[in-house]
Every structure is written in C-alpha cells, then in structure tokens.
C-alpha cells in the first residue's frame, strides 16, 4: 500500500488512481479515505486522477500521539501534494476535511491548486463564542469526547443516525452505510480521534478563508445535524471571495453517501465550469 512518511516520521496512507486533472479528497472525522468511495469511482470514470489519504491517526495511517491538530493536518496534506507533484488540483473537503482544506490553502497557498470545494464543512468556526454566537456550546464537544472515551464503539454506532439523517421520520435507513462508517471509525486511533474533536470544533478558519484566491464551491445540507448550517456554509461563502454557495433542502451531513448522484453531478459541473 502507498504511504508517505512525514517530517515527524508519521506514515500517511493514500490512494492515487487514474490520470488527468487531480482531485484530492479530505475526509471527515473519524473516518478514512474510504468515505469517498462514491466520488472516487465516479470521477475516475470521468477521466480524472483521484487521490484520497487517511488523515494521521485515522484509517491506515499512523495512530499518532501528537500532531492531531489543523496545522499539522494541513502540513501533512502539503507534503502529500508535494510528494505526488500535483499541479492544477481540485481540493474537496468534507466536514473536518473541509477545515483541513481551508487551513492547507491558508497556510501553504494555492500554487498547486485550481479550485476548492467545502462540503458540510466545519469552517469558519464551530464553537460558540462571543464573536461567533451562532456556534455550538462547548458542552456539545465535551459530550463527543466523553462518548469517545467511555465507549467509542457504541458511540460511533449511535452517531451514524444523525450523521445520515436516519433519525428523521420516514428516513430510509441503510445499515450498510452505517456499518461502513463504524468500520472506518474503529480503524483509527482513539487518542487521535479524541484530540481531533478540539481541532474541528475550536479552530478558527476565518483568516484561512479570506486567503483563498481560487474558485470555491461551498455545499451544505440544510438538515445537517452535525455541522449546523447557520454558523457554517453561508459565512464561509461570504469570507471566500467569489465563492459559490449551494444549499440542499432536507439533506443531512453525510450527503456524499446518501445522495451521491446529486453531489457528484454538482461537483462535476463546478470542476468543468
């Protein structure tokens, strides 16, 4: 399996399939590159080169004790893009991965990047503060940490219900999708997953978003129960100059898996535009 070794010795697993313009996918917490199955296969068939990595501490990458924060995540992504010598890439980030993409662009610039997409993404800031009154209170994230620490396996099984909107009346539940989420989560390391809660909830991406100077698409379901839309997508779209905002009525946080046909079509149209 392909890996790169980062400056601190961590091994980052990645998939690199096909040829053509590269699309780089950054996954959400606490998942892995496998969360992009629907998108990887679709864009491979469309003639693109598709790349996805397991964030440090997640999936098949090193179960790191340190470096489980956004600056290091962004640096790992920069090392991967440099190792593969990517040029003209489209960076797509979902949830925590959207934060990773924003910090990568803010920290390392857009020399290798053509476009960016943030899907159900955590920027600009999830945590409720005086300056961000629409965010979620700290006790929400303390509850996530408590669930991870007490019984990660059970907590990961339960969180799939709001993640995919399967707790809504009349929802058609896919047990396969739920189990796929659980399997990805349990592959990662508990310390890295615990630390990552702080990374995705307390990192302020405002200045990163202001630095993005490539065409950007912000996509979000308005029934997202994990990253509520009120403090996220519309504000990000305002901070990124010229960004496009697409809001999907009734769609959940995990829309890339529940509604891949919609997501993939809009991604393709944006990339080709």
Q: Which residues are catalytic?
A: 95, 224, 253
CB–CB of 99/206 below 8 Å? no
Sheet of 22-26: strand order equals 3-5, 11-17, 49-53, 22-26, 89-94, 113-119, 216-221, 244-248
How distant, in Å, are the alpha carbons of 118, 158, 161, 164 from that of 204?
Answer: 15, 28, 27, 25
Surface-to-core class of residue 153, CB atoms within 10 Å of its CB (0-12 exposed, 13-18 middle, 19+ buried): exposed
CB–CB of 90/21 below 8 Å? yes
Nearest to 57 by CA among 48, 65, 49: 65
Length of the chain: 273
């Amino acid at each position: 399996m392909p890996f790169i070794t980062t400056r601190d010795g961590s091994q980052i697993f990645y998939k690199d399939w096909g040829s053509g313009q590269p699309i780089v996918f950054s996954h959400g917490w606490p998942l892995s590159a496998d969360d992009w199955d629907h998108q990887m296969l679709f864009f491979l068939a469309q003639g693109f080169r598709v790349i996805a990595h397991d964030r440090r501490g997640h999936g098949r990458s090193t179960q790191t004790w340190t470096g489980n924060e956004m600056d290091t995540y962004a640096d790992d992504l920069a090392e991967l893009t440099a190792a593969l010598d990517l040029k003209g890439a489209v960076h797509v980030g979902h949830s925590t991965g959207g934060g990773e993409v924003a910090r990568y662009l803010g920290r390392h610039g857009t020399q290798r990047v053509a476009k960016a997409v943030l899907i159900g993404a955590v920027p600009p800031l999830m945590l409720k503060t005086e300056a961000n009154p629409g965010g979620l209170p700290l006790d929400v994230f303390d509850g996530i940490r408590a669930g991870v620490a007490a019984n990660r396996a059970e907590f990961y099984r339960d969180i799939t219900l709001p993640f995919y909107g399967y707790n809504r009346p009349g929802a058609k539940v896919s047990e396969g999708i739920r189990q796929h989420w659980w399997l990805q989560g349990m592959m990662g390391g508990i310390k890295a997953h615990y630390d990552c809660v702080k990374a995705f909830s307390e990192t302020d991406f405002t200045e990163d978003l202001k630095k993005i100077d490539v065409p950007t698409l912000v996509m979000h379901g308005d029934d997202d129960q994990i990253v509520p839309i009120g403090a996220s997508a519309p504000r990000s779209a305002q901070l990124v100059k010229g960004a496009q905002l697409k809001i999907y009525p009734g769609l959940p946080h995990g829309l890339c898996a529940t509604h891949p046909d919609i997501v993939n079509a809009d991604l393709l149209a944006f990339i080709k535009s």
